[in-house]
Structure 1
């Protein structure tokens, strides 16, 4: 895909405080003064871009370490593109390349950008790379699992399962999810992104006060294989610090955005004091198939020990909220107790050699 017809290019950079936006025209001149938006002001940011897009064709551009805006932006009808690492200079330890640079790259090399779709999300066009990384990671992940450093599901012999929610907190959907969980008297695990923790600390407190488990889902929801080891550690540590400042306790579990892995990522995680936490049931709610389909996908696959992947933030999660009562009722009817991931008994190890060996 190309952005050749677009006359204005909005580069969107992320920082620890939120987002920086700079808009250039086809000649590389500023359309407006650069603007800053807090992590909790995504709706305002998108509204501003839509206003500009009504004046002239507009392309919004971010890079692969920003996985929080593609859903809301494509849902709003914006034309969204991703600039990949090989098109950009090295990033800082924390944050993306500058917004102006992203806008300039889109203006000067429009044909090299990836058009982001609602179906493919921010990894549109990189599926082969994603699955190859997961495949290459299997031996290392198995070693981590054997060492008790990676958790995908619990024991199949205990009638317990865990619901997990990624990408929050969210100013609307988190409260609705908490209300439903409270109605049924069940607990869950919420894997939060640091960007949203910093913006919505009261929602994080609300989750913790209700007795749910908090997990770490990185700061900006990046594609982890694009990070250096130091950048990956910074994403995890800053998010843990943000949660700790709010609740007094740092999360001990880390879930990689998209479930994206590579041997290099896993080597870094093996040296970090966190437990990699995956899932064995994907609700596919991120695809927006409708509440009934989300519920049936979970109920067809879940059983004792299951860890169910759902989402609460980084987009309109209304379908997930609507599906949740049916999911809970269906699992409870099977005699499953719904608990946090930390309360699931670990499955028996598959082999006797449990020593963790990693190739560097």
Structure 2
């Protein structure tokens, strides 16, 4: 058995592989985001079984690894040394955590994602944040939807940009003359700048979705600030536009403390009220059906253009757009819904 650890850093990913004796089976190698497929292919070339581990702040790659047929596990913080201010625990340490405590690793399921096994914890943290959510919403800094009085909806896409899916989605949006909002991860921004430029040129909004798609309650305030700040700079540099105005927490993860930090960091947080779980290996017809069943005036629809195989989302997009157009909806950017909510009379939402 071999043990592979994958870390993330400002330039992309690092892969380290150790054998059962703890010695290197492969010299550590770096892969920029556009070369992630090479990293995945390298893991497939081993003749021995490989246990692949990521840590909980590395939420951009596991879906693609699992889609390629690899067994992926999460190494939780108590198995690892402390993280730096920016970046994950080194890949060698993640690999050796698998060797030392393979039974302590959490096997990930493709239909459950990076936070497999934490669903109850995430739900409890979300519930505990209800008062903080309301306070932040009252301050005009958190939104799940826009005003309900207009037949407007916002399509939003998370976790990209990622070829070919982002480009395919942009093609469909351009065909219908529809605008959307893309919440992008910083680790992909520089490597796929052409997609961000195209988003801006087509009139779409670009939002901040952190650098590495981490589970926010595990970050310190300085680590959260680095994730948001560096992603904002990367998006502005790659797109040739301004730094993003809007922020979306990965997984919707938050606690009252995290929300307080987001308030201090002066973010405007956009959640959602329609989520067909398109990332969870669902079929295109099921994705489209659930969106059309759940949408209401002012809805923010959560879809994904990155993080895994998004061909079902691409296939679902045309029936979603056509179905909503038939119902008399118009498509606006998420920032438009935010502005509408901020200008609406009290109680109008």
Q: Under a length normalisation based on structure 1, what TM-score does the superposition of the two structures give? A: 0.93
Name the structure 1 match of 2:188: 196
- The answer to whether the 8 A contact 2:216-2:258 is kept is yes
1:32 corresponds, among 19, 26, 31, to 26
2:143 corresponds, among 143, 151, 167, to 151
Q: Distance in 1 between matches of 2:346 and 2:76?
A: 39
Q: Distance in 2 between matches of 1:278 and 1:348?
A: 21
Task: Point out where structure 2 has 5 or more consecutive residues left out of the alignment.
Answer: none
Q: Which runs of 4+ in 1 moved over 4 A?
A: 347-351
1:220-235 map, 5 Å: 220-235=212-227
Name the structure 1 match of 2:245: 252
1:102-251 map, 5 Å: 102-246=94-238, 247-251=240-244
Name the structure 1 match of 2:272: 279
- The answer to whether the 8 A contact 1:167-1:191 is kept is yes
- The answer to whether the 8 A contact 2:217-2:255 is kept is yes
CA deviation string 1:14-60 (max 9, x = no partner): 001011111000010111211111111111110100112xx101001
1:77 corresponds, among 69, 83, 88, to 69
1:292 corresponds, among 285, 302, 305, to 285
SS at match of 1:32: strand
- The answer to whether the 8 A contact 2:207-2:245 is kept is yes
1:314-353 map, 5 Å: 314-344=307-337, 345-346=340-341, 349-350=346-347
Q: Distance in 2 between matches of 1:86 and 1:129?
A: 16
Q: Give the 3 Å change call, closer, same or farther, for CA 161–24 of structure 1 in structure 2.
A: same
Q: Give the 3 Å change call, closer, same or farther, for CA 284–349 of structure 1 in structure 2.
A: farther
- The answer to whether the 8 A contact 1:155-1:348 is kept is no
1:312 corresponds, among 283, 305, 308, to 305
Name the structure 2 match of 1:45: 39
State the 1:109 CA deviation.
Answer: 1.0
State the 1:249 CA deviation.
Answer: 0.4
State the 1:342 CA deviation.
Answer: 1.3
State the 1:289 CA deviation.
Answer: 1.5
- The answer to whether the 8 A contact 2:200-2:241 is kept is no
SS at match of 1:142: helix
How much is the aligned-residue C-alpha RMSD, in angstroms?
A: 1.1
- The answer to whether the 8 A contact 2:205-2:333 is kept is yes
Q: Give the 3 Å change call, closer, same or farther, for CA 349–114 of structure 1 in structure 2.
A: farther
CA deviation string 1:94-142 (max 9, x = no partner): 0001111111111011111101111211101111111111011110011
- The answer to whether the 8 A contact 2:236-2:243 is kept is yes
SS at match of 1:282: coil
State the 1:162 CA deviation.
Answer: 0.5
Q: Under a length normalisation based on structure 2, what TM-score does the superposition of the two structures give? A: 0.96
1:91 corresponds, among 83, 88, 92, to 83
Name the structure 1 match of 2:255: 262
State the 1:348 CA deviation.
Answer: 5.3
SS at match of 2:27: coil
Name the structure 2 match of 1:22: 16
CA deviation string 1:170-191 (max 9, x = no partner): 1211111111111111100000
- The answer to whether the 8 A contact 1:190-1:212 is kept is yes
Question: Matched residue pairs, number?
Answer: 343
